[in-house]
C-alpha cells in the first residue's frame, strides 16, 4: 500500500524482501476482485465461499483473516456489505506474499499462477442503490464523514487514502484536489474521533525489555507518543505530573529512565528562564 496510489502495476510474484506490492489497483484493468474477510472464524470463510463461489487462490492475512481472489465481474469497492467482509473490486489490496509490520500475507491455497484462471465472483449481493453525486459545496464535509466511518477498517494511512480516493472518484460531482483528500485523511487518521494513535515507534528488543521492566517509563513513553509527533520538540517538565494528577516523583524518575534508555534525548537543557526540550531518539513508523 505504500506505492503510488495511481499505479496500475500487477505484482508478478510474492514479496520476499519485506516490501509490499499492489495487486488489485484499478480492477477493471487488472481483472481482480478480492473478498476481504476480517475475521478468524472459519465458518465465515465457508459462508463467503458458499455465497460468492469457490476460488483456487486464498490468502491468510497477518490478522488471521482471509483474502479470496476472484475475476472481476464489474464489482466496485464495497465496505462491509456483510459483517466483517469487504468486497474490494476497486482500489488496492496488499499482494499475497508481502510483508507488513503485522506479518506476512501467506498463500494458504493455490499460487499466483492461478490468477489467470480465477472464477468470476458470484452475484450474491444486491447492487448498491444509485445515489446523486455529492455537490461542490458539500464535498469536503461529506468526504470527512466517509473517512470517519472507514478509518477503523484500515490498517494503514495508505489504505485510508486509497479508499478515500476511490470514494471521491465515484461519489463527487466534481473532483477534489488530491491535496484536499490527503489533508482530510491525515486529519482523520491522527485523530480518530478524538482518539489518538499511541506507540508509533519501532523499538528494538533490548529497549522494549527495558521499558517493560519499568512501568512508569513505559507509561510516560505512551503518553508522550500520543501528544507529540515524530519531529516535535517537547517538554517533559516536573510539573507535568501534578498537572495530570500523578505523583511528584513520577515524571522525573520516568524521564531519567527514558534518557538512560536512549528513547528520548535532551536538545536544550532546562534553565532558569526556559524549560528543557526533548526529541525522540527512535525510528518511527506509520502504522
pLDDT of residue 200: 61
Measured CA to CA in angstroms, residue 132 lies from 127, 145, 170, 171 at distances of: 15, 17, 10, 8
* Confidence band of 21 (pLDDT split at 50, 70, 90): very low
Nearest to 144 by CA among 198, 183, 91: 183
Distance CA 282, CA 223 (A): 16
Question: In whole numbers, what is the pLDDT of the chain averaged over residues?
Answer: 80
Which segment of 13-27, 140-154, 210-224, 250-264 scores lowest on mean pLDDT?
A: 13-27
Measured CA to CA in angstroms, residue 18 lies from 5, 95, 128, 189, 281 at distances of: 19, 12, 37, 24, 24
Q: What's the rounded mean pLDDT across residues 20-25?
A: 45
* 63 pLDDT higher than 70: yes
Q: What's the rounded mean pLDDT across residues 15-20?
A: 39
Nearest to 159 by CA among 80, 99, 96, 91: 91
pLDDT of residue 39: 86
Distance CA 88, CA 69 (A): 10
Q: What's the rounded mean pLDDT across residues 114-121?
A: 92
The model's pLDDT over 153-172, given as tens digits with 9 standing for 90+, comes to 777 788 888 889 988 888 89
Torsion of CA 5, 10, 14, 16, to 10 degrees: -50
* Confidence band of 125 (pLDDT split at 50, 70, 90): low
pLDDT of residue 5: 33
Assigned C-alpha cell, 45: 470463510
pLDDT of residue 102: 75
Q: What are residue 264's DSSP bridge partners? A: 280
* Confidence band of 271 (pLDDT split at 50, 70, 90): confident
Torsion of CA 24, 190, 168, 154, to 10 degrees: 30
pLDDT of residue 218: 94
Nearest to 66 by CA among 42, 88, 91: 42
Q: What's the rounded mean pLDDT across residues 58-69?
A: 91
Amino acid at each position: 500500500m505504500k506505492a503510488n496510489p495511481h499505479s496500475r502495476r500487477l505484482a508478478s510474484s510474492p514479496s520476499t524482501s519485506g516490501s509490499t506490492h499492489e495487486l488489485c489497483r484499478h480492477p477493471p484493468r487488472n481483472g481482480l476482485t478480492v473478498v476481504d474477510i476480517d475475521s478468524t472464524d472459519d465458518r465465515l470463510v465457508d459462508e463467503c465461499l458458499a455465497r460468492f463461489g469457490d476460488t483456487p487462490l486464498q490468502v491468510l492475512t497477518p490478522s488471521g483473516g482471509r483474502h479470496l481472489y476472484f475475476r472481476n465481474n464489474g464489482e466496485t469497492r464495497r465496505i462491509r456489505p456483510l459483517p466483517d467482509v469487504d468486497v474490494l473490486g476497486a482500489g488496492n489490496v496488499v499482494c499475497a506474499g508481502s510483508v507488513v509490520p503485522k506479518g506476512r500475507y501467506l498463500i494458504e491455497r493455490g499460487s499466483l499462477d492461478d490468477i489467470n484462471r480465477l472464477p468470476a465472483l458470484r452475484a450474491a449481493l444486491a447492487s448498491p442503490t444509485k445515489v446523486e453525486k455529492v455537490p461542490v459545496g458539500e464535498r469536503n464535509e461529506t468526504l470527512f464523514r466517509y473517512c470517519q466511518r472507514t478509518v477503523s477498517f484500515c490498517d494503514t494511512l495508505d489504505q485510508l487514502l486509497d479508499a478515500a480516493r476511490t470514494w471521491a472518484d465515484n461519489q463527487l460531482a466534481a473532483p477534489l484536489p488530491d491535496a484536499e483528500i490527503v489533508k482530510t485523511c491525515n486529519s482523520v487518521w491522527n485523530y480518530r474521533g478524538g482518539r489518538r494513535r499511541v506507540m508509533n515507534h519501532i523499538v528494538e528488543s533490548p529497549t522494549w525489555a527495558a521499558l517493560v521492566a519499568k512501568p512508569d517509563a513505559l507509561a510516560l513513553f505512551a503518553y508522550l507518543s500520543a501528544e507529540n509527533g515524530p519531529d516535535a520538540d517537547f517538554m517533559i517538565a516536573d510539573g507535568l505530573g501534578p498537572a495530570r494528577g500523578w505523583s511528584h516523583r513520577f515524571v522525573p524518575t520516568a524521564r531519567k529512565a527514558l534518557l538512560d534508555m536512549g528513547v528520548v534525548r535532551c536538545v536544550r537543557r532546562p534553565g532558569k528562564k526556559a524549560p528543557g526540550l526533548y526529541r525522540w531518539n527512535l525510528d518511527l513508523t506509520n502504522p
